[in-house]
Structure 1
Amino acid sequence: NADNTDKDDDSMISYISSSSDSSVDKKKNEVPEAVNKCEKNISQKAYWIQRTLREAIYGKVKYAIVLKKISPNNLPSDQVVEWEVTNEACAVKEQSWQQIKRERRRYAENPIQEVAAM
């Protein structure tokens, strides 16, 4: 099951790193919880959020499985996109934009520069 935490418009997602994970099955799955953060019909990958790994200053770091798009790119927008589970895993950093604006001068970390560096 995917981690069903609150998803609101003030969160900023950063994809931190990826690695191979042999514990993930390579099979075709319907994954409605998959989060595709790239432009529509361009991205071939999505990130299936699994669980929170750690709390962070401005949000959370989450474990995700990388999904590969198996549906054609030219589907009408009302069609279901199918994804295949890969053996690749990654960490996803979810940050609250409101919290960043409110507290960014309190800490040495600068999340805006962190995201810009990506």
Structure 2
Amino acid sequence: MKIAVTSKGVLLDSEVDPRFGRAPYILIVETDTMAFEVVDNSDNVNAFKGAGIQAATMVSDKGAKVLMTGYCGPKAFATLEAAEIKVVSDVTGKVRDAVADFKAGKILYSTAANKEAHW
């Protein structure tokens, strides 16, 4: 299964970035093999608005079924939910460890956004 993890860097040993829409990278990890693709999210890092929605669209386009991140706002959450992508919030530590927790079933899926909208 492909899962997306927000990241501060381009390696599995990079720290999870708590920001979904404005994370510099999103790693798309194949959980069976740990093979991964680095998605450059730099266009959204400084976006005036819509960063979460655009990042959610990218995650969907890459075929991920789960997003692991720190915070996810309501518009991004709604976009992910519409694409049938489950969200795991409050993720910290290294990307590799987040994926290991997912594989071990040590995660809880979010039922709503955990960050307020930006106005």
Determine which structure has greater relative contact order: mean sequence separation of CA pairs < 8 Å that are 6+ residues apart, divided by chain length.
1
Highest Rg: 1 or 2?
1
Do the structures match in fold with TM over 0.5?
Answer: no
Give 1 or 2: higher strand fraction. Answer: 1
Give 1 or 2: higher helix fraction. Answer: 2
TM-score by length of 2: 0.30
